[in-house]
Structure 1
Amino acid sequence: MASVQCEARARDMAGFVADEAAAVRAAQQRARVEAFNRRQRRERGYDDGDGDDDGVRRRTRAASGEHDDETRSGDAASSREREEPPQCRICFAGAEDATRGRLFSPCLCRGSMSHVHVECLNAWRAMSSNASSSARCDACRYVYVLKRARWATRFADPRLATVASVACIALAVVVSGVIARIASARVVAPAFAAAAAALKRTGTGTRTSGVVATLERLGSPRPTHAWRPWYAANGGGFPAGWVEERAAAASTRRALERTSPAHLEFLFYRLAMWTPPWWNPGGAFLDAFTIPRWFLRRAWIADALDALVTGVVLVGVGGAAFDVVGRLRRNFRSELERLAFPLAAMFASHGSPILRVVAIAGLMYVYYITHEIVRSRARTVLTKYGEYISDVRPRGAAEIEAARRGADAAVVADARRRWGARYFEGW
């Protein structure tokens, strides 16, 4: 719970840090201007050439009194600052506990910005979209003193996030395809078949017969692969059996067209107007000269491919729908005007086969979201367990310059990864 609060406070402090940095710079500029004006007034008071010693003494006493007042006010402010207990600049809590970590000063910020909890700073660094925020302070630009474990260097490799994202999507496709297959074959289709049988026994009339026919179609089982052994035994693709081959292909296509919509893969085949190669007896994919006969005899390969297609359709179409709904929830009117015409034009020009493009686009969107989540989680683990930030300490000019160059190199590397190396050829 405390880590969630730290992340929320860190998110709220995103704009506050920039405002605080601007205020600090403005205060420093005003202090320099006021110091210059005081020096000019002091010089004019001593060197105005009027010969009035009393006026000079009065101006001298006034200047010294003003300086004393400023000194006293500065001392009072510094004493009040010393009396106030340090508090975290993100969560505004002052006590150290096991959930937030120790309270320390990682940079050169002063005042209310000087201290921060370890966990609050790690949450800030992990969720920041700027690569330099993980290496230096956004307010004072001080480069953190980082100590990284050996395994953290490999863990920070961007290729690891890519591999993990692909593995997560593949697992989601397989799991969703298997669940959909079991649900349609064991639950949905038998339920429709049982309802049709019960209604046929009890009901009469034309309307009842139409409902029974609809329920029977919804409850029809998946098409079988009975043609595969015969096709392999008779040498599919040879001219001697072209009549039987055409008959098998026609019966297979009819079976695909009459299959229950409860089987999602065959519903997708029908809507997308696509006959997959492993369901096409006369296609080039199953040519006996290119495909071994063991593939034709093993129907479980086709079943596995059907399950994968089901998973791809569920993940892809679900991702596309999630993206569209999210856009409409953020700004309904503008997003509806932006999305309605392109989608209507695509479906009007291409019809239901455009679902192929929708599934692929949704799969790409799911990969993008998964990659961002994996990268964010990896950065969180890296900042929490793989890196250690030391307290601020004085450093030489050479060390500071080297640290700044390292932070700038991290920014350039992040930009190269995001936009491609061809935009940064001269860097």
Structure 2
Amino acid sequence: MNGSRNTPLAQQAAIQQGKPLEVFWAFLKLGLTSFGGPIAHLGYFRAEFVERRRWLDDRSYSDLVALCQFLPGPASSQVGMAIGLGRAGWLGLLAAWMGFTLPSAMALILFALSLAGFQGVAESAWVHGLKVVAVAIVAQAVLGMARSLCPDRARAALAILAALLSLLLPSAFGQVAAIVITGLLAWWRLDVIQAGAAQAHAYPVSRKVGIVALLLFAGLLIALPVWAAATGSSTAQLLEGVYRSGALVFGGGHVVLPLLQASVVPSGVVSNADLMVGYGAAQAVPGPLFTFAAYIGAMAQGPLHGWLGGLVLLVVIFIPAVLILIGVLPFWQGLRHRAGMRTTMAGVNAGVVGILGVALYDPVWTSAIHSRADFALALLLFGLLTVGRVPPVVVVLLAGLGAWGISVL
């Protein structure tokens, strides 16, 4: 980040400093290696774009994470798209989405088309090692964000409060409640002077464009069911169900399973057995869980199936996430620079640290650490990341090799 003044021209120059191809390659690397679910993805993003590339500062990143936790849709994908948008404009948004999403989508479509040949992948030692490395990545993110965003006792207390609320209410509602409460407490009692450290991070979205995006989001949510009911088309019903699932998901990609299940199983588009097999495979690939829709499209019975069905449903399930993000960003970037909002966000950011700390335990730790050997591997990987400064891609490869070695022994 340079030291340019926070003027509209400086902000616009900062927006255009990157190129879409640069954004695509950066996110493609993450799309090929980011295992562990949405919380782990946020850790990978912070390591890559805040610490390594410095495309935005820690406070801007944490503000963006807090915003996307409020929005329906896949939070990590929305954070990634916003980073691409801020770096290289609209093509940057598309490049970030494609780079991060296509690897897992292609893998799931291939899995659907060649189901028998891929049985057992989700239980392999290699995939287990990739889950273990997610523990190290998230631990590094929690440690780094705690140092930056909880530098005093008051904000550390807010982080602990958020963690306790998330443990008492282990759901998307609990996370949102923790963010709201820590933000309100900060606004009411916290005396924080933000020392102007956060350089304004602007996005090339006008308020008019934001309003149009919000109207499209709501319009499609209303029009698609009407279209499906009026035509009785199985294709229309499939598209409507997938769009609705993407529009109503709060709390991350795991929540999308019951919504998609209710949309496609009763109609016979995909059997429940095939759905659950695909969901297991979705846990074993990098990238966002929303790419599960590509598997459903490839397995679907009807006009949409195979590669075409997979790609169409992949796009449809992400459309609401893109529209709501574009709709909110121009209003968010104006509010976040007001004094009262900055104080509130100081509390919200502390709350995010607490929520990430809980997520480090469940589901990241609980799904990966099953033995002393797993813990030893995670500790080694954490040391390589934090002390050895080894690139995350290398650490991911070492994790797979380490887990394979443990399974052999």
Per the shorter chain, which TM-score range?
Answer: under 0.3
Which entry has the higher C-alpha Rg, 1 or 2? Answer: 1
Q: Which structure carries more helix by proportion?
A: 2
Length-normalised TM-score, structure 1:
0.19
Higher relative contact order (CA 8 A, sep 6+): 2
Length-normalised TM-score, structure 2:
0.20
